[in-house]
Amino acid sequence: MRRVSRTLATLVLLGPLLLSQTPDNGDRVQALEREVQAARHRLMDWAGLTRYGSEDTEIPPPKADENRVVFLGDDITEKWQGPFFPGKPYINRGIERQTTPQMLVRFQQDVVELHPKVVVIQGGSNDLAGLTGPATEVMIGQNLTSMAELAKANGIRVVLASVTPVCNCYSDQTARRPQGKIIGLNGWIKRYAASRGAVYLDYYSALANGRDFKKELTADGLHPNEAGYRVIAPLAEEAISKALAQKNEFK
């Protein structure tokens, strides 16, 4: 939101000046206009409800024996490289750059309305980076809790994924996503999952070497590459199977 305000203020202050300047500045004005348009779009649809809203209504209800799974998340989920669980009734509902409060807002539309048996919730990394404002472990935890409670209320089993690691192997990633905070948040997610009967999906341990993202499994130090997804896909399958096999209800 601060970024939106800053962009709008910049255009208001500099717009008249730039308009009277050279063609190069004309390009700058156009770039600012595009930025304002994008900011306006974010204001109008902060939670990203329009990203999948139309497609959601075109998905028929699951068949009686269908083990439908919805993956709700951010870049890590949306940008899944390689085949996304071919042959499986798994639905990707990741949105790049999203934070957990945004996911919470669209949880009803993008998860509950699709009537899955399991939801895999993956988020928190962009919260730590402050993409929608300052966020603490407590705030992220509250959002994850709310999503888990919504799932419970609708008979959906919950898998909570860890935040993936980062490294400075290509560029500085740890400044925005301090490794200690990732570890701390993952500790909270693991404890919460255990206390409520949800399944903890540990992407972190499989992708990290010490505190760093294994360089061979990432192309930018933040997102898994195709090899990284090959590592975590079976873990997701395992967690889903575990959730489906659970006899006890979410506590």
Partner 1 sequence: MDLHGRLVGLATLFVACGLSWGADWLTDGGNQQRTAWQKDEKILSKSNVKDMKLLWKIHLDNQPRQMHSLFPPLIVGKVNTPNGVKEIAIDAGVSDNLYAIDVETGQLVWKKHFENTWTPPATPVRGGGILCPGGLTATPVIIPADTPGKYTILAISWDGRLHQVNVADGEEIATPSKFVPPNGKPYALNYRDGVIYTHTAQGCGGNPNVAYAYDMPTKKVGTWGPAGGGMWGRTGPALSKDGTMYTGTGDGRWDPENGTFGDGIVGLKQNPETKALELEDYFAPTNAEWLYSRDLDMQVTPAIFDFKNKELMVSGSKECRVFLMDTASIGGDDHRHPLFTTPLICNEDVNFASAGIWGSMASWEDSKGTRWVLTPFWGAKHSKFSAPIENGPVKDGAIAAFKVEEKNGKFQLTPAWISRDMNRAEPPVIANGVVYAFGSGEDTDQAYPDVGLDDVAERRIPGSTHAVLYALDAMTGKELWSSGNEITSWNHWSGLSIANGRVYIGTFDSNLYCYGIKK
Which pair of structure tokens corresponds to residue 34?
A: 């595009």
Q: Which of 5, 50, 136, 171 binds partner 1 (CB under 8 A)?
A: 50
Q: Select the residue interacting with partner 1 from 21, 37, 171, 205 (CB under 8 A).
A: 37
41 touching partner 1, by CB under 8 A: yes
In this structure, the chain runs to a length of 251
Which range, of 44-52, 90-98, 189-197, 226-234, touches partner 1 by CB under 8 A?
44-52
Question: Is 55 or 66 the residue whose CB approaches partner 1 more closely?
Answer: 55
CB 18 within 8 A of CB 11: no
For residue 56, state whether it binds partner 1 (rule: CB under 8 A): yes
Which listed residue (24, 44, 65, 87) binds partner 1 by CB under 8 A?
44
Which CB atom, from 33 or from 226, has the smaller least distance to partner 1? 33
User: What is the token pair recorded at 228?
Assistant: 């990284």
**Selected range binding partner 1 among 42-50, 126-134, 140-148, 195-203, rule: CB under 8 A:** 42-50
Beta strands 157-161; 199-201: pairing state: parallel
> Which residues lie closer than 8 Å to 22 by C-beta, 6 or more apart?
none
Closest CB to partner 1 among 40 and 88?
A: 40
Question: Residue 179 contacts by C-beta under 8 Å, 6 or more apart in sequence?
Answer: 165, 166, 211, 212
Closest CA to 203 of 131, 86, 122: 122
Contact between 205 and partner 1 (CB under 8 A)?
Answer: no
Q: Which stretch binds partner 1 (CB under 8 A): 47-55, 165-173, 201-209, 214-222?
A: 47-55
Residue 62 interacts with partner 1 (CB under 8 A): yes or no:
no
User: Is residue 6 involved in binding partner 1 (CB under 8 A)?
Assistant: no
Least distance between partner 1 and beta carbon 22 (Å): 20
Q: How many residues bind partner 1 (CB under 8 A)?
A: 12
Q: Supply the DSSP symbol for 132.
A: T
Residue 114 amino acid letter: L
Print the SS3 string covering 11-70: HHHHHHHHHCCCHHHHHHHHHHHHHHHHHHHHHHCCCCHHHHHHHHHHCCCCCCCCCCEE
Footprint on this chain of partner 1 (rule: CB under 8 A): 37, 40-41, 44-45, 50, 53-58
